[in-house]
C-alpha cells in the first residue's frame, strides 16, 4: 500500500504572515492539531501546531494578536512522497520520533500522513510509530 492510498488530502493551511490568534481560531474550527504554512505559490515553508501557538508562544511572551506564524513555526518539516510504501513512511516516522509527515507530490504539498491515518491501514505500523514517538503527556 502506498502513502497516497490513505493520506489526508483535505489540508487547511495558513500563510507565514497569519497572526497566531487567527491560526488558533482556524485550528479550533477545523478540529486539527497542526497546519502547514505555505506561501502564495503553494510552497511549503513550515508546520504550526496547537502546542506551538499556546505553550511555546505564550511561554516566550509573544503577543498572539501581532506575532506572525513564521516566527514560531517549525521550519524543518519531515516529508515523504506520495508514492512511498506505507511501511517505509512509518519507518521514517519511527526514526524521527514523530507522528505526522507532510506528503509531497511533484514538489508540491499533496497532503499529510498521520499516525491516525496509519491506524486505519495497519495496527502494527501505527502502534510502532506511537511507541517511538516523543512523549507529550
Partner 1 sequence: MKVSEIMNSKVMSTTPLATTKEAARQMHDIHVGCLTVMDGDQLVGILTDRDICCKVTAKGRDAGWTKVHEIMTREVTTCFADQTIEEATDIMMKAHIRRLAVVDRNNKINGFLSVDDLARASHQLASHVLESSTTYH
Q: Is 43 in the site for partner 1 (CB under 8 A)?
A: no
* Minimum gap (Å) between residue 29 Cβ and partner 1: 8
Question: 124: which DSSP letter?
Answer: H
Contacts of 55 (CB under 8 A, 6+ apart): none
SS3 state at 78: coil
Residues 101/93, Cβ–Cβ less than 8 Å: yes
Q: Is 130 in the site for partner 1 (CB under 8 A)?
A: yes
Could you tell me which stretch among 25-33, 39-47, 71-79, 83-91 binds partner 1 (CB under 8 A)? 25-33
Alpha-carbon distance of 23 to 106, in angstroms, equals: 27
User: Which residues 56-95 are close enough to bind partner 1 by CB under 8 A?
Assistant: 56-59, 64-65
Q: Is 5 in the site for partner 1 (CB under 8 A)?
A: no
Q: Is 20 in the site for partner 1 (CB under 8 A)?
A: yes
Alpha-carbon distance of 116 to 121, in angstroms, equals: 9
Task: Report the DSSP pairing between strands 79-81 and 100-105.
Answer: parallel
Q: Is 110 in the site for partner 1 (CB under 8 A)?
A: no
Alpha-carbon distance of 113 to 123, in angstroms, equals: 15
* Minimum gap (Å) between residue 58 Cβ and partner 1: 4
Positions touching partner 1 (CB under 8 A) are: 8, 20-21, 24-25, 27-28, 31-34, 50-51, 53-59, 64-65, 99-100, 114-116, 119-120, 123-124, 126-128, 130-131, 133, 135-137
Amino acid at each position: 500500500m502506498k502513502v497516497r492510498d490513505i493520506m489526508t488530502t483535505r489540508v487547511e493551511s495558513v500563510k507565514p504572515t497569519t497572526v497566531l490568534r487567527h491560526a488558533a481560531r482556524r485550528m479550533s474550527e477545523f478540529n486539527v492539531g497542526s497546519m502547514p504554512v505555505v506561501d502564495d505559490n503553494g510552497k511549503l515553508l513550515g508546520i504550526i501546531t496547537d502546542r506551538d501557538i499556546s505553550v511555546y508562544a505564550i511561554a516566550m511572551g509573544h503577543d498572539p494578536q501581532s506575532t506572525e506564524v513564521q516566527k514560531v513555526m517549525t521550519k524543518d518539516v519531515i516529508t515523504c512522497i506520495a508514492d512511498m510504501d506505507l511501511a517505509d513512511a512509518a519507518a521514517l516516522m519511527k526514526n524521527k520520533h514523530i507522528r505526522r509527515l507532510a506528503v509531497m507530490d511533484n514538489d508540491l504539498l499533496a497532503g499529510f500522513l498521520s499516525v491516525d491515518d496509519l491506524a486505519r491501514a495497519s495496527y502494527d505500523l501505527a502502534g510502532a510509530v506511537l511507541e517511538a514517538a516523543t512523549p507529550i503527556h
